[in-house]
Amino acid sequence: MTTMTQASVREFKMPDVGEGLTEAEILKWYVQPGDTVTDGQVVCEVETAKAAVELPIPYDGVVRELHFPEGTTVDVGTAIIAVDVAGGAGGATPVAEAPAQAQVPAEKQPEEAKPQGRQPVLVGYGVAASSTKRRPRKGADVPPQEPSTAAQALQSELNGHGPAAAVKPPRPLAKPPVRKLAKDLGVDLATVTPTGPDGIITREDVHAAVAPPAPAPEPGPQPAPVAAPAATSAPVATYDAARETRIPVKGVRKATAAAMVGSAFTAPHVTEFVTVDVTRTMKLVEELKQDREFAGLRVNPLLLISKALLVAIKRNPEVNASWDEAAQEIVRKHYVNLGIAAATPRGLIVPNIKDAHTKTLPQLAGALGELVSTAKEGKTSPAAMQGGTVTITNVGVFGVDTGTPILNPGESAILAVGAIKLQPWVHKGKVKPRQVTTLALSFDHRLVDGELGSKVLADVAAILEQPKRLISWA
């Protein structure tokens, strides 16, 4: 008999907050069992492979259970919190929120199912259709079922028939990479014996399913098995916690590692260097700080370096492109989404300024300031890190002279800016102390040949040496 309390329970599932990501780590819970929540209230913060985002609950009620502790990585579509919804209809079954991928426009929902005044607040998260699903009893080891299977089993139980034998077996549990591996190897997951937690099929299980069977013993008497000497046993890896620290690779750092490996071994990198006297640029930075047009804005060398790169791209538009491997085409971009590499506590991220080429110098200063402050607060959205065309990485803030940067995946070039230091420099025929820095430009040699890359880097250097070119070349 389903009670009123059971009927009012709603399960909120991990939505796809990153446009196609398959999992997210729960960083922090803002509520605990017994707390009252309202529609739109943020209940937890999660980190995907792209950014940290806050999740709002889509209904009113009282928190009944948190299914996972902080620090747990959860697959998209998995229930993470149960809420007793106020005013639940008696006799109904518990309702589980459908995964965020199953979006249903509000205007096409039945009238009683339309959310009241609620708007989507996260990328990939909006009004979701609900499906009927019985929650497993506590203590019962019952594998999860697909919504359709659960509904059939529930109907069979309510009709007094018990678990129906004709119900479709539950779908084997496996993560997307494991499913792809099984497909590539021609393995039916239904025939694989799972060894992972909660009956999840692992990569090792799939490989074991295609491993050749052990050879049958030869007929005839077999010698008695002899125990192997202890000295021949395989060495066991040891871990000294006092001397080593193991840090799980996940979230932003895991995504960055995968992206950099993919970029380094996909795009043929070429890096060129130039050392330039930026004394006049540094003087201009100090003058702009006193200009009332820049009052309240962040004015620093990065602002003029960004503008110099944008002007260089305008003079050499062929550099602003991407490689379409599937179509075997070069895609020329008529806009510049300028990425700025930012080091954060969660790892390196590269948000970008959309349509940076259209912005005036004060507008560019405002956009740079907002980008940096948002990144430091850990509030950069996934959308802010998508669609970049070229990137700047300022390694000089760490006192580094220069480097050979790796391209952000899908982009054509990345400019590394080294530390700006007083150095002896020949100026007007005499050796004088001047502000000097080294620039490094890495580019995809499929898109950018040596001549084009050299022109772009030389233009950036020329502008920083004589910033009045911002007027004559812009």
The catalytic site residues sit at 445
C-beta of residue 92 within 8 angstroms of C-beta of residue 2: yes
- Which whole-number Å values give the CA distances from 91 to 5, 62, 159, 274, in the listed order? 10, 19, 15, 75
Structure tokens at 413: 């070039």
Q: Which residues pair with 421 in a beta bridge?
A: 436
Output phi, psi for 417, to 5 deg. -115, 125
C-beta of residue 338 within 8 angstroms of C-beta of residue 309: yes
- Helix ranges (H only) for 327-410 are 361-376
Euclidean distance between CA atoms 279 and 433, whole angstroms = 10
> Who's near 279: CB < 8 A, 6+ residues apart?
427, 434, 435
Q: Which has the closest alpha carbon to 411: 289, 344, 313, 298?
A: 313
Euclidean distance between CA atoms 83 and 59, whole angstroms = 9
Euclidean distance between CA atoms 147 and 152, whole angstroms = 9
152's enclosing H/E stretch is helix 147-158
Instruction: Count CB atoms within 10 A of the CB of residue 429.
Output: 6
Bridge-based pairing state of the strands 390-394 and 338-340 = parallel
Euclidean distance between CA atoms 253 and 346, whole angstroms = 7
Residue ranges of E strands in 165-286:
173-174, 200-201, 269-277
Q: Which residues pair with 400 in a beta bridge?
A: none
Residue 98 identity (one-letter amino acid):
A
Q: Within its chain, how far is the Cα of 71 from the centroid?
A: 16
Euclidean distance between CA atoms 285 and 183, whole angstroms = 58
Q: DSSP of 272-324, one letter per residue?
A: EEEEEE-HHHHHHHHHHHT-GGGTTS--SHHHHHHHHHHHHHHHSGGGSEEEE
